[in-house]
Amino acid sequence: MGIEDCTILHLDMDAFFASVEVRDDPSLQGLPVVVGGAGNHGVVAAASYPARARGISSAMPMAIARRRAPDLVIVPPRIDVYREVSARVMDLLREVTPAIEQISVDEAFLDVAGARRLFGPPDRIAQRLRSRIREELDLPSSVGGSVSRAVAKIASARAKPDGMLIVPAEQTASFLAPLPVGVISGIGPKAQQALERLGVRTVGQLRDVPASALRRAVGPQAPMIATLAAGEDRTGLGTRVRDRSVGTERTYEHDLVDPAEVRRRLTVMADEVSRSLRRSDLAARAVSVKLRAPDGTTITRSATMDQPTASGERLREHVVALWDREVPRMPAVRLAGVRAERLQETSSHPTATELTGRGTGWGGLESAMDRARDRFGSESLTRGSTLEPREG
């Protein structure tokens, strides 16, 4: 054990949109710069580090940002430029290994296990990636490394700006212990409040919470969170992860105002998504929920599952937990969607029977139901929890 084994790296660009703007207009260097809409209803998309020092952050209304920094420089977004830079960053990562998993416009995970022979230990690779990005694109980035993707991502955030932090397996528990529970991606604002009521603020304190209480506070991700808090998570990149995702979304003619109705529609969509996964022999490691208010405000939240799954039961459970615990309430919902992400081919996975639902338990029942639906149409079968009011 040691740095040599920290082969999971997470690279994330620093203040991405804002850094691109500062690079292209050096007179902005050192100033509080934000990228976003300048209008009264504009929102900050990205804030430079000098802007952050003044208390400005992403997703903040522009009016508040202006109040915090009267000398604020607001630059309108140039999405095509960021997209192009993003593609170049990903190309530079691929110079080191093809084992990369891009998770947003400015970040990706890499598994550098195979690249070590050519490029040296993971810390050397991390520095190499950062300096290539600096040389070729003149932009700052940060890298975290660990034996687990969750810890690598937490480490890259702690390394910012323009830094690197590698956390060896044996130091993981002590590295995480003092951090606030919110650093764990499965712990949203509501779960944080629930934990706060138990007197739990740090990841270290999380370790003393009994399993049942943890489950009540954070939902179905509890076992994974407990493993992570104990410093024992070893989840790397998925085998044969595809860039694809499978999802469904609907725009409603009449805005949904009843939270119970939104919840029910989300569970129906989770079922649909699980069926298309099973049809394509895919399993998902993550599921996301997307909601849009009539004014266009869009919120997405995602949950990671401890096992890849194609089970409708599991997807519903996570979707409901996201809705109940993580999604801020909007007065009305215009669009709702559910998406399965981080897909793996179940045929190539050791526990394929369980994943495709051709084995026992819920999975088996679900594929039996799929077959019945294929023969008799989708109205022929409905499960108890979706029997309440009819769709439409």
* Binding interface with ligand TTP (CB under 6 A): 12-17, 45-46, 58-59, 105-107, 160
Residues 19, 34: Cα–Cα separation, whole Å: 9
Residue 3 is given by DSSP the state G
Bridge partners (DSSP) of residue 374 are none
Q: Is 138 annotated as a binding residue?
A: no
Least Å from the CB of residue 264 to ligand TTP: 28
Residue 48's CB is within 10 A of a number of other CB atoms, namely 27
Q: Which does 271 bind (CB under 5 to 8 A by kind): Mg ion, ligand TTP, none?
A: none
Choose between 107 and 317: whose C-beta lies nearer to Mg ion.
Answer: 107
170 is catalytic: no
What is the contact surface with Mg ion in residues (CB under 5 A)? 12-13, 16, 104, 106-107
Least Å from the CB of residue 160 to ligand TTP: 5
Secondary structure (DSSP) of 342-368: EEEEGGGSTTHHHHHT-SSHHHHHHHH
Choose between 297 and 347: whose C-beta lies nearer to ligand TTP.
Answer: 297
By the 8 A CB rule, do 141 and 129 touch? Answer: yes
Least Å from the CB of residue 15 to Mg ion: 7
By the 8 A CB rule, do 386 and 264 touch? Answer: yes
By the 8 A CB rule, do 69 and 62 touch? Answer: no
Choose between 189 and 223: whose C-beta lies nearer to ligand TTP.
Answer: 189
Bridge partners (DSSP) of residue 248 are 338
User: Which of 30, 37, 21 is closest to 53 using CA atoms?
Assistant: 30
Q: Is 106 annotated as a binding residue?
A: yes
Which token pair is 252?
């409603």
What is the number of the residue whose Cβ is closest to Mg ion?
Answer: 107
Residue 42's alpha-carbon distances to 58, 304, 381, in angstroms, are 11, 31, 46
Which token pair is 200?
């739990």
Choose between 59 and 387: whose C-beta lies nearer to ligand TTP.
Answer: 59
Least Å from the CB of residue 13 to Mg ion: 5
Q: Which does 164 bind (CB under 5 to 8 A by kind): Mg ion, ligand TTP, none?
A: none
Q: Which does 45 bind (CB under 5 to 8 A by kind): ligand TTP, Mg ion, none?
A: ligand TTP
Q: Which does 131 bind (CB under 5 to 8 A by kind): Mg ion, ligand TTP, none?
A: none
Least Å from the CB of residue 57 to Mg ion: 12
Residue 208's alpha-carbon distances to 78, 193, 203, 211, in angstroms, are 47, 17, 10, 9
User: Which of 103, 106, 123 is closest to 164 using CA atoms?
Assistant: 123
Least Å from the CB of residue 16 to Mg ion: 5
Q: Which does 58 bind (CB under 5 to 8 A by kind): Mg ion, ligand TTP, none?
A: ligand TTP
Choose between 17 and 175: whose C-beta lies nearer to ligand TTP.
Answer: 17
Exactly one of 21, 101, 107, 313 is catalytic; name it: 107
Residues 257, 165: Cα–Cα separation, whole Å: 45
Residue 310 is given by DSSP the state -
Choose between 185 and 346: whose C-beta lies nearer to ligand TTP.
Answer: 185
Type and span of the H or E element at 252: strand 246-256
Q: Which does 313 bind (CB under 5 to 8 A by kind): Mg ion, ligand TTP, none?
A: none
Close Cβ partners of 194 (under 8 Å, ≥ 6 residues apart): 216, 217, 218, 325
C-alpha of 314 from chain center = 18
Q: Which residues are catalytic?
A: 107
Annotated binding site: 12, 106
Annotated binding site for Mg(2+): 12, 106
